[in-house]
Structure 1
């Protein structure tokens, strides 16, 4: 949707170039994912360094000489650090953001140590993997992911990440919650399979190449709206939905409608989802009457 919108704004007809940018933007999501995962690892490393430095002070206190190491010994963080999947991905993708910008790690570590979650965790004498995991899940949710300084850094680093941050953080939390003791944390794949990747290109190209045809499908279905007054994002959303109705036999109609209504709620005007829902419902009825929708598989209508 955003790539098609960008094409409109630039009056571009270079599909190859825009598709390349689209794939590059998706590819960059993996970098964001690795940056967020590595932040957890680097926060632990920074605390280890802090404790070691403090213990070697000339006038170190008893607490500094024998600190509470519950956080640095956290079992889930240890599994992240030991994950070859993460270390290989960081090396392959050349992710060294926190080496170059460790001041953000210090900011995050300070916020962690100020949090009530941390204070409660450090005082708790229990020592189980499940407790360690729950603490990191809560810490990531409440302290790290919402941190404004971190968000500003990510936004400045790559503008396309603004919409990707919630998706990436949700995926990380899902993986952390499902990680078992002794199990290696595996870096997520961007695409489920090759067919999944091909879908990106197919939806993009088929929508762009048939925009004029798709727009005619809804032009006469908006009696109370001048077509030129319809928000551009809304027209793109409707064209993409029509494309899925007519060009993608394996995608259920209801799934298409639900997905694009969610896009409308997120990116367009307050009334757009109701407007688009009405148009798409009418189009589906019409397409079915004209036998234009050819879906394969059970329950796809």
Structure 2
């Protein structure tokens, strides 16, 4: 399974968790079994991302709020919130190259959201990167 596909599963798990405060560890195990993820590094990637994004949620939301311009966090849709949390986590905490993090999240936005969502997210993420420099 590719990293992109695992990121998609991470997105789905976090989206579900955002809507219903479920037992995330149980859901991770179910997804690993359902998707037949057997490689240890892939399982660890999935588990660590989901767990650490949830653990760092307050920090991530605060960073997102500080980067939004003309919007409030509460106005964002669930898809946008989750995608921003993933990308902010990758850029700020995991120190993944911002080009990779942004590209990955925009691919998810294209698949799961409206056409203009990717442009909206790209603008927010560009501002984040600009503020970091």
The TM-score, its normalising length taken from structure 1, stands at: 0.38
Q: Structure 2: how far apart are the matches of 1:206 and 1:21?
A: 15
Structure-2 residue corresponding to 1:28: 34
Structure-2 residue corresponding to 1:203: 49
- TM-superposed CA distance for 1:11, in Å, is 3.1
Alignment partner for residue 2 of structure 1, among 9, 12, 15? 12
Question: How do 1:1-301 and structure 2 match up within 5 A?
Answer: 1-12=11-22, 17-30=23-36, 190-191=37-38, 193-249=39-95, 251-287=96-132, 289=133
- TM-superposed CA distance for 1:209, in Å, is 1.0
Q: Structure 2 unaligned runs (5+)?
A: 1-10
Structure-2 residue corresponding to 1:59: none
- Cα deviation, 1:52-105, whole Å, max 9, x if unaligned, reads xxxxxxxxxxxxxxxxxxxxxxxxxxxxxxxxxxxxxxxxxxxxxxxxxxxxxx
Q: Structure 1 unaligned runs (5+)?
A: 31-189, 290-301
Q: Structure 1: how far apart are the matches of 2:93 and 2:63?
A: 14
By relative contact order (CA 8 Å, sep 6+), the higher-ranking structure is: 2
SS in 1 for 2:67: coil
User: RMSD of aligned C-alpha atoms?
Assistant: 1.8
The TM-score, its normalising length taken from structure 2, stands at: 0.80
Query: Larger helix proportion, structure 1 or 2?
Result: 2
Do 2:91 and 2:101's aligned partners in 1 also have CA atoms closer than 8 Å?
yes
- TM-superposed CA distance for 1:207, in Å, is 0.6
